[in-house]
Structure 1
Amino acid sequence: MKETILKVKNLAVSYTTYRGKVRSVRGLSFKLKKGETLALVGESGCGKSASVKPIMGEHEANQVIESGEITFTYDGPQGEETVDLLKIDDEKMQQEIKGKQIAMIFQDPMTSLDPTMKIGKQIAEAIKTSSSDLSSEELTDKVRELIDMVGIGHIDTVMNQYPHQLSGGMRQRIVIAIALSSDPSLLICDEPTTALDVTIQARILNLIKKLQRERGLSVIFITHNLGVVANVADRVNVMYAGKIIETGSSEDIFFDPRHPYTWGLLSAVPDVHDNEEKLPTINGTIPDLTKEIVGDAFAPRNPYALEIDFKEEPPMFSVNEHHEAATWLLDERAPKIEMPELLQQRIMRMRGEVYD
């Protein structure tokens, strides 16, 4: 059994706004093992990014941590250490963890890169934050090694270029190189491929997967598109309205989804084999998180909603030892509802492609 390096327990995060308190994260719990890739999936506004900001020590003026623990285990200066990231002091966070043990890749690489500084110097500055005793020659070698690691050729040319001279895919590779410059144990990827075209997107995903495997990295991958993480994630947490509503292995989520919201997300992924003229969508919008939610938050958008969905929040029902879903459809008293036929056909086709 791999050791757990990150444990989030009952995390609740809200933001104070002129409209009132927005409850962005409402009691989130999950674990991440060493060398594992966990995907957080859901529509924009479901709380994915808000749930990982406290892990990175990102504090906003209107952010309020209502409750929770975030336990992180890492190799510190004194050996293996376990800390609660919500209670750690800022100095320790900055000196030992943020950008060192835990690194992050954002959606738009241009927000992470300095437009006035050459690529080589930017990577060198990142290296120096964790390896200040390197000689000038050793530092240059390390920069070259990182650029080569992320699959970029013409290394000397790239080192002397500015961010605007590189393509979007190359910029994102440079951001990955900077994130890995301190050899972190946890990498958080926040929609890292959304701004890229499909071909480049696939290359970046393959790169992250390759580096994760080679370095034994633990990865949290945030996306609104389930199709993006199909071949990347070991486990998937589907989020809705600040909560995890289905969790399981990739095989569980893609081949045996149980929550109607997961059905909707999977159905909305474009498939070249479908003959449908119009891509299925999930009707409606996410609920107003400034207001109290009664029952299942997804009920107003759920075409399979039961009467109880509007009165009582469903608990997590166990499907198997590593798969759970919070839907009353899994209650033994509920009527048997099949997933949409289009999705059934897709899954049968995917199973055939996997096992051929």
Structure 2
Amino acid sequence: MSPRDYILRVQNLKVDYQTFRGDVHAVRGVNFDVTRGETLALVGESGCGKSASVKPIIGEDANNEIIREGKIIYRWQHDGRTEDVDLLKLTAKEMQSKIKGRQIAMVFQDPMTSLDPTMRIGSQIAEAVSSSHPKMLKDEVNHRVEELISTVGINRVKTVVRQYPHQLSGGMRQRIVIAIALAGDPQLLICDEPTTALDVTIQARILDIIKKIQKERNLSVIFITHNLGVVATIADKVDVMYAGKVIEAGTAEDIFFDPRHPYTWGLLSSVPDVDGKKENLPMIQGTIPDMKKKIIGDAFAPRNKFALTIDFVKEPPMFTVSDTHSAATWLLDKRSPKVAMPDALKQRIVKMRGEE
């Protein structure tokens, strides 16, 4: 990828959280790029560092958070020029006034944590619009509020404007949160498990809305999820995370049809096949390592039935599979024994490709 293609570049990000039992090394050197107009999905089990990797992008810092190292380069287009800015070097005031909401916005899992239960929906969206566009007249703000509500697929605009959050369904509330996120015309939208609490039908509608808005605005999206079905629906690129690091990265096609890391094999194998026979799904045995302790070798080694001796001694680098695909596993070293993905997963991929 050429330097001019990206809107965001995260480089060697390391984030700790201080606790009374010791520092938790939540992010241990994460690297990823986001291209303008594309969706990058961050995938992995709970506790793998997905949310901790993206919250510094928008300045959502916890009181006990320490950013040990790294850069977050945002390519900012303003006043007819393009400028690269390291977001980690901006003050909290600069992040609030220049970046948050205006350039980068975030949608969280639970809309009720983002909405004020005592304010009408219209007033909450109007507040976001006025904050991002302080020179707008009241009539212009009201028009923009109605436009945003319509943009997220709500037809009863006049009614919804006067309602309170508790009067809306979960899916409707999440649409309002997306509308608020779009109020400042951001270039990058971060979605942190925004459909997890919704049923499958509403989930599909929310994903369709995000894809539609993305296409209309050439919006870049970072989508955090553990749901591989969602990833297949929305992602252009996928970064699989484990124990605070990206351990496989590629296009959605790379990850779903040519996975190379044993952890990715495990994730894909554990997804129910709706067209298949009833069977016990394989599980990834064990749990993620204690992130307060120093990890020696490959963090996944204790759970990896394909682990080599070197996995317990030395951390694997990211091996290049193709121009778009890489994975951090010693199985890709030319000196390692040849280990193929499980037959059941291979058969599933053949079926997904329609090659049966």
- TM-score, length basis structure 1: 0.96
- Who is 1:315 aligned against? 317
CA distance, structure 1, for counterparts of residue 283 and residue 200 of structure 2: 20
Query: What's the secondary structure of 1:231's corresponding residue?
Result: helix
Residue type at the aligned position of 1:247? A
Number of corresponding residues = 354
Residue type at the aligned position of 1:317? F
Query: What's the secondary structure of 1:61's corresponding residue?
Result: coil
- Who is 1:344 aligned against? 346
Q: CA deviation at 1:320?
A: 0.6
Show structure 2 runs of 5+ residues with no match.
Answer: none
* Alignment check: 8 A CA contact 1:299 1:305 kept: yes
Q: CA deviation at 1:60?
A: 1.8
* Alignment check: 8 A CA contact 1:225 1:265 kept: no
- Who is 1:20 aligned against? 22
Query: What's the secondary structure of 1:313's corresponding residue?
Result: coil
Map Cα deviations across residues 277-312 of structure 1 (whole Å, 9 max, x no partner).
323221111000111111110011111111111111
* Alignment check: 8 A CA contact 1:13 1:64 kept: yes
CA distance, structure 2, for counterparts of residue 280 and residue 196 of structure 1: 26
Percent identical among aligned pairs is 66
2:35 alignment partner, one of 33, 36, 54: 33
CA distance, structure 2, for counterparts of residue 282 and residue 202 of structure 1: 27
* Alignment check: 8 A CA contact 2:30 2:245 kept: yes
Residue type at the aligned position of 2:198? L
- Who is 1:263 aligned against? 265
Q: CA deviation at 1:249?
A: 0.5
- Who is 1:244 aligned against? 246
2:299 alignment partner, one of 297, 301, 310: 297
Matches within 5 A, 1:137-216: 137-216=139-218
* Alignment check: 8 A CA contact 2:101 2:183 kept: no
Alignment of 1:92 with 2:94, yes or no, is yes
- Who is 2:334 aligned against? 332
- TM-score, length basis structure 2: 0.96
CA distance, structure 1, for counterparts of residue 349 and residue 280 of structure 2: 19
* Alignment check: 8 A CA contact 1:235 1:247 kept: yes
CA distance, structure 2, for counterparts of residue 276 and residue 284 of structure 1: 24
CA distance, structure 1, for counterparts of residue 190 and residue 73 of structure 2: 16
* Alignment check: 8 A CA contact 1:39 1:220 kept: yes
Alignment of 1:132 with 2:129, yes or no, is no
Q: CA deviation at 1:342?
A: 2.0
Q: CA deviation at 1:247?
A: 0.3
CA distance, structure 1, for counterparts of residue 220 and residue 351 of structure 2: 31
Map Cα deviations across residues 26-81 of structure 1 (whole Å, 9 max, x no partner).
01111111111111111110011111111011222211111101111112357433
Residue type at the aligned position of 1:254? F
Alignment of 1:109 with 2:115, yes or no, is no
Show structure 1 runs of 5+ residues with no match.
Answer: none
Which range moves more in the overlay, 56-65 or 117-126? 56-65
Query: What's the secondary structure of 1:332's corresponding residue?
Result: coil
Q: CA deviation at 1:270?
A: 2.0
- Who is 1:227 aligned against? 229
Query: What's the secondary structure of 1:252's corresponding residue?
Result: helix
Alignment of 1:80 with 2:85, yes or no, is no
Query: What's the secondary structure of 1:54's corresponding residue?
Result: helix
Map Cα deviations across residues 217-271 of structure 1 (whole Å, 9 max, x no partner).
1111101122211121110000000000000001000100000100111112222
CA distance, structure 2, for counterparts of residue 36 and residue 64 of structure 1: 29
CA distance, structure 2, for counterparts of residue 213 and residue 270 of structure 1: 30
Alignment of 1:278 with 2:283, yes or no, is no
Change (3 A) 1:83 1:145: same
Q: Runs ≥4 in structure 1, deviation > 4 angstroms?
A: none
Which range moves more in the overlay, 217-226 or 77-86? 77-86
Residue type at the aligned position of 1:125? E
Query: What's the secondary structure of 1:346's corresponding residue?
Result: helix
Q: CA deviation at 1:275?
A: 1.5
Q: CA deviation at 1:84?
A: 0.7
RMSD between aligned residues: 1.5
Residue type at the aligned position of 1:72? Y
Q: CA deviation at 1:25?
A: 0.5
